[in-house]
Amino acid sequence: MKFLVITKDPEVETAAKEGFHPTDETIVFEDWHQALEACEGVDMLFVDLLATLIEPHKIAGYEAFAYAKMEHPTAKGVPLVLISPPDDYELDFMAGWPDFVFGHVRRPVDYRIFRRASTWI
C-alpha cells in the first residue's frame, strides 16, 4: 500500500511513519501542491487541515486545496482522510462537499489512528 500524508506537524508525521505497516510506502509533504502531483499510485491521502491554511483560522486555504484536489486528474480519485484541527482551534467557517472526505480523524493523532485507517482500503 502507498499512503501520502500532508502535514506540517512533526508529531503527525512521526505517527504516520510508525503507524503503517513496514512494507507500506509512506510519503509526507508539507506543501499540498507538491503532494497532489505525487498522487500516482497512492491508495489513500491524509491531509492535516492546518497544513492547508494560508492564514491561521481562515478556511480559504483548505477550500483552495479541496478545489485543486477535485480538479486534479490523478488526485481526484484518491480517497481522502481529513485530520481535523484541535477542538479548541477556531476557524472562520467550515466547508464541505458531498463525497469529498472518505474518512475523518480527530486530534490527538497517534500511530494507532494510521494503523486503523490503513485497514479502510
Domains of the chain: 2-120 (3.40.50.2300)
Q: What is the pLDDT of residue 15?
A: 97
Task: Say which DSSP state 42 is in.
Answer: -
In tens, the pLDDT along 11-23 reads 999 999 999 998 9
Dihedrals phi, psi of 85, to nearest 5 degrees: -70, 170
Residue carrying the nine cell digits 485507517: 117
Between CA 118 and CA 121, with CA 119 as vertex, the angle to 5 degrees is: 85
Residue carrying the nine cell digits 477550500: 63
Q: Which of 49, 42, 116, 31 is closest to 86 using CA atoms?
A: 49
Q: What is the pLDDT of residue 93?
A: 80
Residue 99's pLDDT band, with cuts at 50, 70 and 90, is confident
Q: What is the pLDDT of residue 97?
A: 80
Beta carbons within 10 angstroms of residue 49's beta carbon: 21
Question: 52 near 62, Cβ under 8 Å?
Answer: yes
Q: What is the pLDDT of residue 96?
A: 78
In tens, the pLDDT along 48-98 reads 999 999 999 999 999 999 999 999 999 999 999 999 999 999 999 877 787
Cell numbers standing for residue 104: 475523518
